[in-house]
């Protein structure tokens, strides 16, 4: 969503402000992993996700209305609204929350952020993109990291909850990757700010039936701890961070933003150790290092590909302009 472009949310912020906002996003999203794990002591997973989405939608709708951007999405944007709402928000957040019941928060952050790895083979298969050397290296490193995390010496394949939780995290990352590939190149009419409240609303509406079907809302332990968790997840980790990412993507290069966001699972891994006392194991650390290396290679490859496309367009435009100028001179 951060890559949708930004129109009209705020003026383009200065680079110093953009860096501060980016650092805040990395910190808040990273710390949110142990916060979500803690919050599940007080609220069922799908109910938690639905409440977060509702609160985020309300706050972003208020911001959009203040900026005169709260409007019904153009029909051309509805596939994007539905895709992001159902896959990136409802399915991803719901599956992650379910997984956090069985998987440590730090490990969850690592597995959930494997999304760019799955984008590589999907883009090759569905979009016909080339498997460059950088992409190949990134994919091999990333898959090696996943293999380390799931090696039988350190992973309990006999515990069904452990297998389910870890599997759902990888599935959530895959769903996000499918969305990224499917919406790549989509020409949207609305700005990210005008679309985000609707995306969050679609996601919340999709989860609410499952909340009442699968969970007992009477088990929610309303009170101070849950209130603080929801306040962090809704207005801060959802509304503020999405708003901040729009501003950041307008002020900083895409490669800078993408590489910086790879620090989120690192912050989540460290925060889970500090806040929840989760063990920093050799297996998780080595697996994360390999996955991070793979993500860096994949990100750099995508950046180089986008730069080549931009240069090709610029050269084509220059060639056309030169030809038209020459033709005009001959006519004279």
Domain boundaries, the chain: 2-321
pLDDT tens digits, residue range 315-328? 555 555 555 565 55
Residue 10: per-residue pLDDT: 44
Read off the pTM: 0.84
- Comparing C-alpha atoms, which of 98, 257, 91 is closest to residue 166? 98
DSSP strands (E only) in the chain = none
- Comparing C-alpha atoms, which of 330, 293, 315 is closest to residue 144? 293
Q: Which residues of the chain have pLDDT under 50?
A: 1-11, 332
Residue 315: per-residue pLDDT: 59
pLDDT tens digits, residue range 223-254? 889 999 999 999 999 999 988 887 787 777 76
Contact 139, 294 (CB under 8 A): yes
């Amino acid at each position: 969503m951060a890559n949708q472009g930004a129109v009209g949310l705020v003026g383009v912020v200065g680079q110093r402000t953009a860096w501060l906002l980016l650092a805040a996003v990395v910190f808040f999203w990273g710390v949110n992993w142990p916060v979500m794990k803690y919050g599940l002591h007080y609220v069922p997973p799908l109910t938690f996700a639905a409440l977060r989405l509702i609160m985020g939608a309300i706050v972003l709708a208020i911001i959009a209305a203040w900026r005169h951007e709260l409007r019904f999405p153009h029909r051309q944007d509805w596939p994007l609204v539905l895709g992001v709402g159902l896959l990136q928000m409802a399915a991803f957040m719901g599956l992650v929350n379910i997984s956090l019941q069985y998987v440590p928060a730090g490990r969850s952050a690592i597995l959930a952020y494997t999304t760019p790895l799955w984008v590589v083979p999907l883009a090759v298969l569905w979009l016909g993109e080339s498997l460059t050397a950088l992409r190949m290296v990134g994919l091999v490193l990333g898959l090696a990291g996943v293999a380390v995390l799931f090696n039988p010496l350190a992973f309990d394949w006999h515990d069904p909850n452990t297998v389910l939780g870890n599997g759902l995290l990888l599935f959530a990352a895959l769903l996000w990757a499918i969305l990224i590939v499917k919406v790549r190149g989509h020409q949207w009419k609305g700005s990210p700010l005008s679309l985000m409240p609707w995306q969050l609303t679609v996601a919340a509406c999709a989860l609410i039936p499952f909340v009442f079907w699968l969970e007992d809302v009477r088990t929610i332990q309303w009170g101070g701890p849950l209130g603080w968790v929801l306040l962090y997840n809704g207005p801060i980790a959802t509304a503020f961070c999405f708003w901040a990412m729009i501003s950041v993507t307008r002020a900083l290069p895409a490669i800078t933003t993408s590489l910086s966001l790879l620090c989120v699972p690192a912050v989540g891994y460290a925060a889970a150790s500090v806040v929840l006392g989760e063990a920093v194991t050799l297996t998780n650390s080595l697996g994360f290092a390999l996955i991070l290396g793979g993500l860096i290679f994949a990100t750099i490859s995508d950046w180089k590909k986008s730069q080549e496309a931009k240069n090709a367009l610029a050269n084509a435009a220059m060639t056309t302009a030169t030809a038209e100028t020459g033709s005009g001179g001959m006519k004279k």
